[in-house]
Chain A
Amino acid sequence: MKLFAYTRATEQDVAVNTVSRNQSAKFIGGGTNLLDLMKENVEQPNQLIDINSLPLSKIEVTRNGVRIGAMARNSDVAYNAIIQERYPLLSQALLAGASPQLRNMATVGGNLMQRTRCYYFYDTAMPCNKREPGSGCAAIEGFNRIHAIFGASDQCIATHPSDMCVALAALDAVVQVQGPKGDRQIPITDFHRLPGDTPQIDTVLQHGELITAVDLPNLPFAKRSHYLKVRDRASYAFALVSVATALDIENGIIRAARVAMGGVAHKPWRAVAAEEILVGAKVNQETFRAAAEATVKEAKPQKHNKFKVEMAKRAIMRSLTEVGEMA
């Protein structure tokens, strides 16, 4: 690990100014991703600004929905009564991620910013365009079982590893950001990028910008929602494929639908094609199958992850069936 200077910030403005002035400075939240990567010399900040003392961990009901502070711990969000009642898919997604110890440390802001788990990204002996632009992508010709089936480029085929972000994508959450030039709001589906020719850039967040909160809009039908995660072992593993679904059903007809996927792309993947098929259709297996098939139609699997296409299809159908059966 490279040496860095450490400071604990007590004011947001000061934290933002300090990081914006130093290209090599970073905020540290729970540290569960950043320290992991620093130990591997994948991240090498020369200054860490500890934001754990900033008063940003409240979860509060607002006029338009619920605001979750960026420093709220993943476990506190998951077990929050309002979140469990109004947005069960978010609670389920969080509890499907990492372990209880890690969830006690991990913050909402850090979870949004966590980096890919592509093994070549972690391995500094291997070429990786995300870690070292221009060095090549070891995964494309290498072992790519965990990689993307949607939206990849010839520069990078990594996936975004977060469970929480998949639920946020289904909910159309909005990320609140404070930067050196003021505040701005970023819709969650625009927050993470596709790799394109610049896979080293994961999100649209600029250096020095601090995530202060995530807003969940009111979405009454999100009570009827579900998060399904498929992985190599029953717990404490990243998703091979995950699905977040919510359905607004009236008299057996779907009035509105949300479908988002994890483990399949460089960003949480909103399955728009599935939603279009679901809206106005009857709640039955044909509808769900059509939605799942429409989603995977544009899939472009790699050599070792063809199984993800069928897995994605079945996961969508199973999750929609669960939601369809909820009273």
Chain B
Amino acid sequence: MKLRIKRRRFGQLMIASTLVTAIANFPQRTFAQKKLLSPTPPSSMEASSVPVKLRVNGAEHALEIDPRVTLLDALRERIGLTGTKKGCDHGQCGACTVLVDGRRINSCLTLAVMQEGAAITTIEGLAQGDKLHPMQAAFIKHDGFQCGYCTPGQICSAVGLLNEGHAKTDDEVRELMSGNICRCGAYPNIVNAIQEARSQQT
């Protein structure tokens, strides 16, 4: 695997300049065909935005977004949930991990438009009021972080791991948490935290 840690400051938002060419390329004939999908955005693409409803942590968000916006950027830049982090933007670090219908995924490699109708849970949605999710509490108790940048992804991933139920031993936890890189190397404490949360499961 090629590690490509390029930080994109403007990320998905730097789109306006490419718009014109894209409109020019867009094949007009697709609109005329019968039994073909009428593409979104519809014939006038000048707006280049599509309506998308996202259900995040139980709340509905009606957005108008460019179809290129990833779920990660929609969460952070549009909805304002900045708990989910962008590390690599290429599926290689796990900082952007969120739960979609209870399953952990990398939010940088899916489009927001693809997640309409799904139940998305981010780090902000794990606690119940002031009561931390047991995984959050375990990370604090075991000091499962240093700088904290990877932590939201680690915790969401760990919650997904417990939902999946395939890890018992420390080695299995390590292997099934390998999708989350910690640059600070807090791995031993992360494993301890997850094992404690796992043992408290009913």
Contact = CB atoms under 8 A, between A and B. Distances in A.
Interface string A14-31: 110110011010001011
A99 B164 CA distance: 14
Interface in B31-48: 33, 35-41, 45, 48
A100 B37 contact: no
Interface in A91-126: 98-102, 104-105, 117, 119, 122
Contacts of B161: 100
A31 B176 CA distance: 21
Interface in B13-41: 15, 18-19, 21-23, 25-27, 29-30, 33, 35-41
Interface residues of B, number: 56
A273 interface: no
Given A1-B68, A100-B161, A101-B157, A236 B179 contact: yes
B37 A14 contact: yes
B105 interface: yes
A39 interface: yes
Given A3-B22, A9-B37, A17-B35, A35 B109 contact: yes
B76 interface: no
A18 B30 contact: yes
Given A101-B179, A105-B110, A5 B41 contact: yes
Given A1-B12, A31-B111, A35-B70, A100 B90 contact: no
21 contacts: A3-B48, A4-B22, A6-B50, A7-B39, A8-B114, A21-B36, A31-B109, A31-B110, A35-B70, A46-B25, A50-B113, A50-B114, A79-B164, A98-B179, A101-B91, A101-B106, A101-B157, A102-B109, A104-B103, A104-B105, A236-B178
Contacts of B70: 35
Contacts of B36: 14, 17-18, 21
The interface residues of chain A, by DSSP majority, are classed as mixed
Nearest to A1: B68
Given A9-B37, A22-B27, A22-B30, A32 B68 contact: no
A236 B178 CA distance: 6
B52 to A, nearest CB: 10
Contacts of B180: 99
Given A31-B110, A49-B37, A105-B106, A3 B15 contact: yes
Contacts of A234: 175, 178
Give the interface size bracket for A toward B.
35 or more
A17 B164 CA distance: 37
A32 to B, nearest CB: 5
Which of A35, A49, A100, A122 lies at the interface centre, i.e. has the most chain B CB atoms within 10 A of its CB?
Answer: A100
A22 B37 CA distance: 11
A99 B105 contact: no
A22 B29 CA distance: 9
B35 A15 contact: no
A39 to B, nearest CB: 7
Contacts of A13: 35
A100 B45 contact: no
Contact of A5 (B18, B29, B40): B40
Contacts of B83: none
Interface in B50-105: 50, 66-68, 70, 89-91, 94, 97, 103-105
B196 to A, nearest CB: 20
A122 B91 CA distance: 15
Instruction: Choose among A48, A235, A236, A237 the residue with the greatest number of B CB atoms under 10 Å from its CB.
Output: A236
